Amino acid sequence: MSDPSAARATPADAVERWPVESSGIAWDSGRVIAVRTEQVRSPEGELLTRDFIRHPGAVAVVCLDEDDRVLVVDQYRHPVGHRLIEPPAGLLDVDNEDPAVAAARELFEEGHVRAGSWWLLTEFATSPGMADEVVRVFLARDVTAVKGTDRYVAHGEEASMTVSWIPLDELVDGVLAGRLHNPNMVIGALAAWAARERGWRDLRPASTPWAFKDGLPGRSFGPGPQDVPRLESDA
């Protein structure tokens, strides 16, 4: 008898669109995020109301030196009341900026280094049950430091960040022990460790098209032609 698992397709997320009966902006920060309310018709005919966060997306960088140490920063995160150890990362908030260019910019601004070699490490949806935020994680190597006079001057929470180089294995230990919680750090460290164990053979070019992000429905923040504004009584 043949093994049923042998015929199983390669695991992959599948595009699926349920009909949207109504859609409107429930709240808009005017800065980064907006909350949208949509009524969605399930295949069984049930009408479901869903609130979710609209987000422009982000990039993160696992930057490795010749000793397999990772450049990390520590940033205060007010919603969770912690200073988290993270890889350099940032929003895709510059119009039409290529994600790889955005990643290099964030590495320069937060890590005070430039990298000569870039690959795509992985990508993920941060919380697909409540937000359309997606993150693309890059691997950067061949690092050179930026001179002090040429460094980016940070502000806000980034003004107090410090830069450290931590061995990749120590970061993986911290992830598995529950000491590290930033999703870019958790996913980036585990992905880099796995890629190294596989001889880096699965790395994709940094310029690889971002099909998942490009395929997300309704990327604009403003109301569209079929949008129905949410009323206060609907809250």
Task: Write out the catalytic residue numbers.
Answer: 158
- Does residue 136 contact residue 210 with C-beta atoms inside 8 Å? yes
| Under 8 Å between Cβ of 69 and 166 | yes
In this structure, what token pair is assigned to residue 185? 């750090």
Whole-number Å distance between alpha carbons of 99 and 57: 10
